[in-house]
Amino acid sequence: MILKVQNLYKSFGPVKAVQGISFDVQRGGIVGLLGPNGAGKTTLIRLIMDIYMPDGGEIVLSEELAGKNRKNHIGYLPEERGLYTKEKVYDTLMYFGVLKGLSRDQAKENVNHFLTRLDMDQYRKTKLLKLSKGNQQKIQLISALVSKPPLLILDEPFSGLDPINTRMVIAVLHELKQQGISIMLSTHQMDRVEDLCDNILLVNKGHLLLNGPTQDVIQRFSGQYWQISGPQLPEHPGYTIAEYQNGLSKIHLNAGFSQADLLRFLAELPEPIASLSPFKRPLSDIFIQVVEEAGHEQN
């Protein structure tokens, strides 16, 4: 465990931004932080980054990272990007590197490494305002990576990137993961979360709604969903047909109708089915369902 958040609270006057959130980030894992706009993700990140002080609760870093230089061990890519646009790429990155506690030599080495890795070496003497939005985004990412921190917090790292650069950044993130670096990723691109994240956290209105391994969560929310190839299924109170296309039915089991009930029902059909398999729901569906259900409960 590299980061442990326990019962965290933060309010701004009457606005309760974070309400009793707890979770862990494991070493070398990638955690997806999900939530609708205004859910409290940025506040949560700023609390971890020590930009805001919590009203209650605790943020504990692993022993070797805790202490006075805590900020040196966490790389941060904020959602709202910021760079000294009138300054040169290399100078800006060196400044951020030294601010992260690196010596000038270390900073120089790391800056050179990441500039080369992200194919930005030719721009080292270029002023940031002359770079394209995508390249500025890559420089921004390097500023978060420059100290090679054990924990990285990236807020919307793919925004503004074309598919080629997105693929490059994903590759870099995989490399970092392999090097044992833990990454906390906040994004609205659910397919990226499914591909990259080992765990997900879903927050809404300051509450943590979901927390667990990505595949487990998908599995859990897909348990009542099945896809059946074969003849079109008749209407039945035990299930709801979500879709039927090209001989493939996607159904959702209604309350009181179990998988065994479904199997018995299918066995009794006059025309046999070709196959039956659980239907893996896209994360975006789960996201919408959980947030809407939470909204209804609160109302």
Partner 1 sequence: MNKIKTVMIREFLVQIKKWGFWLGTLGLPLFIVISMVFTAWLGMLAEGSKTKRENEAELPRIIGMIDPSGLTDLDQLNHPEEEPEIDLAGIPLPDVWNEINLPESSKHLIQSWLRKTDRANKTLPYTYRAFSDKSQAMTALEAKEIKAFFVIDPEFKQNFECELVLYNEEDQNRVSTYDLRKHLQNRILGAYFDPQQHENILNPTKNLHKTIAFPKKEKEPKDVKKIINSYVLPIAYLMTMMMAIISSTDRLLRGMVEEKQNRVIEILLSSVSSNQLMAGKVLGLGLIGLTQLAIWLMFLLIPILLVVTFLDWSVWTLIVFLSFFLGGYLLLATCMLAFGSLGRDIQEAAQWSMVWIFLTLAPMFFLTFIIENPHSTLSQVLTYIPFTSSLTVIMRLGMGEIALWEVGLSWVILLTTVWLFIKFGAKLFRMGILMTGKAPNPLELIRMFRHAD
Of the ranges 23-31, 75-83, 213-221, 257-265, which one interacts with partner 1 (CB under 8 A)?
A: 75-83
CA dihedral 287, 291, 294, 296 (to 10 degrees): -120
Of the ranges 11-19, 190-198, 273-281, 289-297, which one interacts with partner 1 (CB under 8 A)?
A: 11-19
Contacts 24+ apart (CB under 8 A), 235-238: 236/265, 238/262, 238/265
The reply to whether 225 sits near partner 1 by the rule CB under 8 A is no
The reply to whether 83 sits near partner 1 by the rule CB under 8 A is yes
The reply to whether 193 sits near partner 1 by the rule CB under 8 A is no
5, 8, 74, 185: which one contacts partner 1 (CB under 8 A)? 74
Question: What is the tally of helices (H) and strands (E) in the chain?
Answer: 9, 13
Of the ranges 83-91, 109-117, 225-233, 237-245, which one interacts with partner 1 (CB under 8 A)?
A: 83-91
The reply to whether 206 sits near partner 1 by the rule CB under 8 A is no
In the complex, the smallest distance separating the C-beta of residue 285 from partner 1, rounded to whole angstroms, is 33
Dihedral pair phi/psi, residue 116, rounded to 5°: -70, -45
DSSP reduced 3-state for 257: coil
Angle at 155 between CA 289 and CA 123, to 5 degrees: 145
DSSP reduced 3-state for 83: coil
Cβ closest to partner 1, residue 146 vs residue 283: 146
6, 59, 65, 81: which one contacts partner 1 (CB under 8 A)? 81
In the complex, the smallest distance separating the C-beta of residue 142 from partner 1, rounded to whole angstroms, is 12
H helices within the chain, ranges in order?
A: 41-48, 89-99, 104-117, 133-145, 163-178, 190-196, 214-222, 259-267, 283-298
* Closest of 75, 177, 95, 81 to residue 138, by C-alpha: 81
29, 35, 40, 78: which one contacts partner 1 (CB under 8 A)? 78
Residues 107, 118 contacting (CB under 8 angstroms): no
9, 28, 52, 113: which one contacts partner 1 (CB under 8 A)? 52
* Closest of 22, 18, 17 to residue 1, by C-alpha: 22
4, 60, 95, 236: which one contacts partner 1 (CB under 8 A)? 95
The reply to whether 13 sits near partner 1 by the rule CB under 8 A is yes
Cβ closest to partner 1, residue 136 vs residue 214: 136
20, 28, 101, 213: which one contacts partner 1 (CB under 8 A)? 101
* Closest of 41, 30, 5, 141 to residue 81, by C-alpha: 141
Contacts 24+ apart (CB under 8 A), 90-94: 90/115, 90/124, 90/125, 92/128, 92/139, 92/143, 93/139, 93/142, 93/143, 93/146
Of the ranges 1-9, 95-103, 237-245, 285-293, which one interacts with partner 1 (CB under 8 A)?
A: 95-103
| Interaction residues for partner 1, span 131-170 (CB under 8 A) | 143
The reply to whether 11 sits near partner 1 by the rule CB under 8 A is yes
Beta bridge partners of 8: 21
The reply to whether 51 sits near partner 1 by the rule CB under 8 A is yes
Of the ranges 1-9, 22-30, 72-80, 247-255, which one interacts with partner 1 (CB under 8 A)?
A: 72-80
Residues 11, 17 contacting (CB under 8 angstroms): yes
Site residues, partner 1 (CB under 8 A): 11-13, 46, 49-53, 71-72, 74, 76, 78, 80-85, 95-96, 98-101, 143
